[in-house]
């Protein structure tokens, strides 16, 4: 198995120049890369978000906390948690007047089965009107927390009677009042992700949660390690990353092909999160290669520097600044 993987990566590495050669149009702007460390005991900022006032970045880390960057003087503060247990355990600290987790059993946890208890917030998106934060948590399902943070409130933890096992990513249709989200597997928990990969599990689902009715519709099932989700700018289709088949799948939502799904893009790497920018293009994080930006036709517009980005799970673009998360590092990368 190990040798096969090595050969696979070697074959894939031959194809990198092809990916770069596909880059279309004029020269992308030169980017400079910087690191923003998360500070002690915080790792794995899988996804990145900014709130309705442009504050942030916010990141979910591997011990279940959602942190917010304030400024260079204050650094990171603890904004929210997804686990009610993490909260009650830390009430003593709360009564002391500060919302801290330093002595909690969850604090500093990384990649441990204990995350079933402590939470692992993977997907983060704000409703830019209300400033409420939606969270896809691999342990606690779909949740929401208000603008002041605290303990997130669960919205759903199963669909069609099948419990969520490994919620991973989400995108919002803010005006339409809907959340599109993925469950990577119906069998394997996140901390057991290597089993989900090595067994060829195909129990991933793409779903839509309707805010008004509170109902969940399963849009696609049988996905291979369902991961990132992104709605198109016009909301006529939704993309979903299938990590283990190195594929991004498109599901049409409106128009003559509504309900039809098709291959949107084959990648050389394994895709992770997908985010749309203001132009309607998509940033796709992939491993072991650097992220790429593609347009609505899947044409590659830009590839980031592989020298500067060693592992990436998420790329968001805010006024031409990129913020890049990683499920294993203890820093964010940002560009100027
Ligand atoms: C966002 O907030 C607006 C205003 O309250 C609401 O109409 C809309 O349904 C919300 N959408 C989501 C996805 O929360």
Taking the centre of ligand 1 as the mean of its atom positions, its distance from the CA of residue 132, in whole angstroms, is 9
Taking the centre of ligand 1 as the mean of its atom positions, its distance from the CA of residue 172, in whole angstroms, is 9
With the CA atoms of 272, 273, 277 and 279 taken in that order, what torsion angle do they form, in degrees rounded to the nearest 10?
Answer: 50
Nearest CA to 178 among 142, 225, 141, 222?
142
Q: Which atom of ligand 1 is found nearest the CA of 128? A: 1
* pLDDT of res. 41: 86
* pLDDT of res. 19: 44
pLDDT-derived band at 194, boundaries 50, 70, 90? confident
Q: Contact 281/265 with Cβ under 8 angstroms?
A: no
Nearest CA to 87 among 161, 152, 26?
152
Contacts of 98 (CB under 8 A, 6+ apart): none
Taking the centre of ligand 1 as the mean of its atom positions, its distance from the CA of residue 222, in whole angstroms, is 30
For atom 8 of ligand 1, which residue has the closest CA? Answer: 177
Integer Cα distance of 332 and 167 in angstroms: 22
For atom 5 of ligand 1, which residue has the closest CA? Answer: 130
Does the beta carbon of 130 sit less than 6 angstroms from any atom of ligand 1?
yes
Taking the centre of ligand 1 as the mean of its atom positions, its distance from the CA of residue 85, in whole angstroms, is 28
Q: Contact 207/184 with Cβ under 8 angstroms?
A: no
Tens digit of each residue's pLDDT (9 = 90 or more) over 129-145: 999 999 999 999 999 99
* pLDDT of res. 29: 65
Taking the centre of ligand 1 as the mean of its atom positions, its distance from the CA of residue 233, in whole angstroms, is 17
pLDDT-derived band at 198, boundaries 50, 70, 90? confident
Q: Does the structure show a pLDDT above 60 at 312?
A: yes
| pTM score | 0.88
Q: Does the structure show a pLDDT above 80 at 48?
A: yes
Integer Cα distance of 119 and 60 in angstroms: 10
Q: What is the DSSP letter of 74?
A: T
Query: What's the whole-number mean pLDDT along residues 65-89?
Result: 86
With the CA atoms of 38, 117, 221 and 61 taken in that order, what torsion angle do they form, in degrees rounded to the nearest 10?
Answer: 0
Tens digit of each residue's pLDDT (9 = 90 or more) over 169-187: 999 999 999 999 999 999 9
Taking the centre of ligand 1 as the mean of its atom positions, its distance from the CA of residue 145, in whole angstroms, is 13
Taking the centre of ligand 1 as the mean of its atom positions, its distance from the CA of residue 183, in whole angstroms, is 23
Q: Which atom of ligand 1 is found nearest the CA of 132? A: 14
* pLDDT of res. 5: 43
Does the beta carbon of 127 sit less than 6 angstroms from any atom of ligand 1?
yes
* pLDDT of res. 111: 84
Which domains are present in the chain?
2-6+45-335 (2.120.10.30)
Q: Which atom of ligand 1 is found nearest the CA of 173? A: 13
Q: Which atom of ligand 1 is found nearest the CA of 179? A: 13
* pLDDT of res. 107: 79
Name the residue of 49, 123, 180, 211 to mutate for ligand 1: max ligand atoms within 8 A of Cβ: 211
Does the beta carbon of 211 sit less than 6 angstroms from any atom of ligand 1?
yes
Q: Does the structure show a pLDDT above 60 at 37?
A: yes
Does the beta carbon of 177 sit less than 6 angstroms from any atom of ligand 1?
yes
**Residue recorded with tokens 């993977």:** 122
Q: Does the structure show a pLDDT above 80 at 95?
A: no
Does the beta carbon of 150 sit less than 6 angstroms from any atom of ligand 1?
no
Segment among 6-20, 39-53, 193-207 with least mean pLDDT: 6-20
pLDDT-derived band at 26, boundaries 50, 70, 90? low
Taking the centre of ligand 1 as the mean of its atom positions, its distance from the CA of residue 131, in whole angstroms, is 9
Tens digit of each residue's pLDDT (9 = 90 or more) over 247-263: 999 999 999 999 999 99
């Amino acid at each position: 198995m190990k040798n096969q993987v090595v050969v696979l990566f070697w074959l894939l590495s031959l194809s990198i120049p092809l990916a770069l050669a596909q880059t279309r149009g004029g020269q992308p702007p030169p980017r400079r890369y910087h690191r923003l460390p998360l500070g002690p005991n915080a790792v794995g900022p899988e996804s990145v978000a900014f709130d309705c006032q442009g504050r942030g970045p916010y990141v979910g880390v591997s011990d279940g906390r959602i942190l917010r960057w304030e400024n260079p003087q204050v650094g990171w503060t603890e904004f929210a948690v997804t686990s009610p247990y993490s909260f009650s355990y830390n009430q003593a600290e709360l009564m002391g007047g500060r919302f801290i987790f330093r002595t909690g059993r969850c604090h500093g946890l990384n990649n441990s089965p204990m995350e079933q208890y402590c939470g692992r917030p993977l997907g983060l998106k704000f409703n830019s009107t209300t400033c409420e934060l939606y969270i896809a948590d691999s342990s606690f399902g779909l949740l929401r927390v208000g603008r002041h943070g605290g303990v997130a409130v669960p919205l759903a933890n199963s669909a069609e009677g099948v419990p969520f096992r490994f919620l991973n990513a989400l995108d919002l249709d803010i005006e339409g009042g809907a959340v599109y989200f993925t469950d990577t597997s119906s069998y394997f928990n996140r901390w057991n992700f290597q089993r989900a990969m090595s067994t060829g599990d195909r129990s991933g689902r793409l779903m839509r949660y309707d805010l008004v009715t509170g109902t969940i519709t399963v849009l696609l099932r049988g996905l291979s390690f369902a991961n990132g989700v992104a709605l198109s700018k016009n909301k006529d289709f939704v993309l979903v990353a299938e990590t283990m088949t190195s594929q991004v799948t498109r599901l049409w939502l409106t128009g003559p092909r509504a309900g039809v799904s098709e291959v949107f893009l084959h990648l050389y790497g394994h895709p992770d999160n997908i985010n749309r920018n203001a132009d309607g293009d998509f940033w796709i994080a992939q491993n072991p290669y650097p992220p790429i930006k593609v347009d609505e036709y899947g044409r590659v517009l830009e590839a980031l520097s592989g020298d500067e980005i060693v592992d990436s799970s998420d790329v968001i673009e805010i006024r031409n600044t990129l913020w890049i998360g990683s499920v294993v590092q203890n820093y964010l990368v940002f560009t100027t």
